[in-house]
Amino acid sequence: MAASNLSTLSSSLSKPSSLPFNTSNTHTSFPHKTLQKPSFIHKSSFSHAASETQKTSFAVASKNPISEIVSSNKPYPEVYYDDDEKPREECGVVGIYGDPEASRLCYLALHALQHRGQEGAGIVAVNDGVLQSITGVGLVSDVFNETKLDQLPGNSAIGHVRYSTAGASMLKNVQPFVAGYRFGSVGVAHNGNLVNYITLRAKLEDNGSIFNTTSDTEVVLHLIATSKHRPFLLRIVDACEKLEGAYSIVFITEDKLVAVRDPFGFRPLVMGRRSNGAIVVASETCALDLIEATYEREVYPGEVLVADKNGLQSLCLMSHPQPKQCIFEHIYFALPNSVVFGRSVYESRRKFGEILATESPVDCDVVIAVPDSGVVAALGYAAKAGVPFQQGLIRSHYVGRTFIEPSQKIRDFGVKLKLSPVRAVLEGKRVVVVDDSIVRGTTSSKIVRLIKEAGAKEVHMRIASPPIIGSCYYGVDTPSAEELISNRMSVEEIRDFIGSDSLAFLPFDSLKRLLGNDSPNFCYACFSGKYPVEPRELKVKRIGDFVDDGLNGSLESIDGGWVQANRNQKEVKVASL
């Protein structure tokens, strides 16, 4: 919807004062203010699902109460930890409308999305027109317990899990953010990254806005508050028209849940429904599965999806170009049991392994995976090659990011903490090792050494993705281009560096052939260096920066470095803050 059309539908808004944000893990309340009800919402032409739900009424009680599941004296699900050198998805979001146990359902859905972020979690719930917020640093199970969830009653809620390299005080940057402005209160949870964040923030600050965090998500709230349009949904459309980059966002107000996806659809966002009619939106379908919501469809690129007392309605945010969905969701980020961009993640990874076995075969005795993300591709490789799949590396799921290293130096100590070789599987064998990607190459070299020290006769690495040559600027934490080993070495040079007997990547052309007619709908910037939205203000991880708890240390020590955009990725240089 063009801005010119918006102006005819809204009245002027005087400039609001600075926005209050929740900055600790205590619950915050915002008084109710009536928001002028939009009268312009139209049925979407995206899908018949929208029109079929216009008359949906939300039940006042759940058929399957889950209060008893959330208890401080019961164990929580096992937590998934990423490898330190892998690219990291920066967050996951969930929104629920129309269920009396919305906050508890949100809590469980965030558990299912824990793999998308382990450094912070938060939930905002609406009760009697008041937005109440609890956020904290750590895992979902660290932040929430029965007592805290009791402080979040209401029929609607949004939640967020976070991984980030940005922010001098991580606690202030933990979402969802909540703000009060002239016409009411709004909470927001965002997955993605805005490539024009600095420009937008500078312009807002010039006009008097005061920022309390270093998160680009706060810009969205300021744009909504300063919009000249009166109805809330028009404010969202007006704000999003100014954004460039990736955003899958859920908003919550006193009476609405709103989901928005950027016109390119970089990051995933799906919609489902529980048996009592409650609407659920989440980053992945695995979150819907856990809370027994039936997956209906994606939130489409460029769509604004609204759940309120009138049911589910949809409108087009703006005309959108060819979708550019993140291919790495299928390679690494999403859980195998999720359906992402309309495709089974498990099936994608299994076929990646089959392609490797067909196009890069090698005589071997056993196929193993680098757990957990390489397992499905390894199963595909083994089945296609007719070679047994074995568990040659055992992963510990109980290792956090901090540990005490013995005073006497142990080589490859960090990798050994996480991965233990099984000598009975490896000794005297020609081993194919399947992993999802190689980033810097340092972890891969340690894994090869670990397997050879366990007695393997040969080690052949097979990587279920093409070589990564470019940083991502759409909501994924990747190193700067100069740190990416495939950006500065040939495949043979990488093989020599990691010490394997052979090395093969998933061919880029074969990946695109597998995707078939959907191939143009994916973003391959990390493999090609060609960016759908040209980055101008880039934030990437600097060489040698470290990850701490986000509460201590200087901004320079934990924040991503700002770099100047350059079409030639090999020449991207890191600049100081």
Q: For residue 462, what are the β-bridge partners? A: 434, 504
Calpha distance 438→463 (Å, rounded): 7
Does the bond joining 153 to the residue before it have cis omega, within 30 degrees of 0? no
Report pLDDT for 228: 84
Report pLDDT for 87: 58
Higher per-residue pLDDT: 13 or 320:
320
Query: Is 347 found in the same domain as 290?
Result: no
Q: Establish if 538 belongs to a structural domain.
A: no
Q: Establish if 337 belongs to a structural domain.
A: no
| Number of domains within the chain | 3
Query: Is 380 found in the same domain as 262?
Result: no
Length of the chain measured in residues: 577
Cα distances (angstroms) measured from residue 49 to each of 11, 289, 298: 32, 19, 11
Q: Are 341 and 298 in contact (CB under 8 A)?
A: yes
Higher per-residue pLDDT: 199 or 307:
307
Annotated catalytic sites, by residue?
A: 91
Report pLDDT for 234: 87
Query: Is 118 found in the same domain as 195?
Result: yes
Query: Is 124 found in the same domain as 249?
Result: yes
Query: Is 211 found in the same domain as 135?
Result: yes
How many other CB atoms are there within 10 angstroms of residue 67's CB atom?
A: 13
Query: Is 475 found in the same domain as 386?
Result: yes
Calpha distance 556→576 (Å, rounded): 8
Query: Is 276 found in the same domain as 384?
Result: no
Residue 236 has pLDDT above 70, yes or no: yes
Q: What is the CA radius of gyration of the chain?
A: 24
Higher per-residue pLDDT: 173 or 384:
384
Q: Is the dihedral of CA 370, 373, 374, 378 positive or negative?
A: positive
Query: Is 484 found in the same domain as 547?
Result: no
Does the bond joining 176 to the residue before it have cis omega, within 30 degrees of 0? yes
Which CATH number goes with the domain that contains 271?
3.60.20.10
Query: Is 465 found in the same domain as 391?
Result: yes
Residue 40 has pLDDT above 80, yes or no: no
How much of the chain, in percent, has pLDDT values that exceed 70?
A: 73
Residue in the structure block whose two tokens are 């100069």: 482
Q: Establish if 21 belongs to a structural domain.
A: no
Residue 241: which domain range?
Answer: 6-15+27-321
Q: Establish if 248 belongs to a structural domain.
A: yes
Residue 81 has pLDDT above 50, yes or no: no
Report pLDDT for 170: 65
The phi, psi pair for 342, rounded to 5°, reads: 80, 5
Q: Establish if 532 belongs to a structural domain.
A: no
Query: Is 270 found in the same domain as 128?
Result: yes
What residue type is 55 in one-letter code? K
Cα distances (angstroms) measured from residue 36 to each of 228, 231, 249, 255, 316: 14, 6, 22, 11, 21
Q: Establish if 470 belongs to a structural domain.
A: yes
Residue in the structure block whose two tokens are 């000598």: 423
Report pLDDT for 32: 38
Q: Which of 12-21, 246-255, 277-286 has the lowest mean pLDDT?
A: 12-21
What residue type is 502 in one-letter code? S
Residue 35 has pLDDT above 90, yes or no: no
How much of the chain, in percent, has pLDDT values that exceed 90?
A: 53
User: Is residue 548 very low, low, confident or very high in pLDDT (cuts 50, 70, 90)?
Assistant: very low
Quick one: which of 223, 229, 225, 179 has its CA closest to 203? 223
Q: Which of 186-195, 260-269, 552-561 has the lowest mean pLDDT?
A: 552-561
Higher per-residue pLDDT: 260 or 24:
260
Q: What is the mean pLDDT of residues 100-127?
A: 95
Pair of tokens at residue 252: 């919550």
Residue 280 has pLDDT above 90, yes or no: yes
Residue 442 has pLDDT above 60, yes or no: yes
Which CATH number goes with the domain that contains 369?
3.40.50.2020
The phi, psi pair for 120, rounded to 5°, reads: -165, 155
Cα distances (angstroms) measured from residue 51 to each of 148, 315, 410: 37, 11, 62
Report pLDDT for 183: 81
Calpha distance 120→140 (Å, rounded): 7
Calpha distance 184→506 (Å, rounded): 51
Query: Is 132 found in the same domain as 169?
Result: yes
For the stretch 391-419, pLDDT in tens is 999 998 776 655 566 766 787 778 888 89
Cα distances (angstroms) measured from residue 488 to each of 33, 464, 479, 566: 56, 20, 13, 16
User: Is residue 536 very low, low, confident or very high in pLDDT (cuts 50, 70, 90)?
Assistant: low
Q: What is the mean pLDDT of residues 419-446?
A: 95
For the stretch 184-201, pLDDT in tens is 899 999 998 888 888 898
Q: Are 567 and 535 in contact (CB under 8 A)?
A: no
Query: Is 418 found in the same domain as 561?
Result: no
For the stretch 483-503, pLDDT in tens is 899 999 999 999 999 999 999
Q: Establish if 224 belongs to a structural domain.
A: yes
How many other CB atoms are there within 10 angstroms of residue 331's CB atom?
A: 26
Q: Establish if 20 belongs to a structural domain.
A: no
CB burial string 102-116: b at 16+ within 10 A, e below: bbbbbbbbbbbbbbb
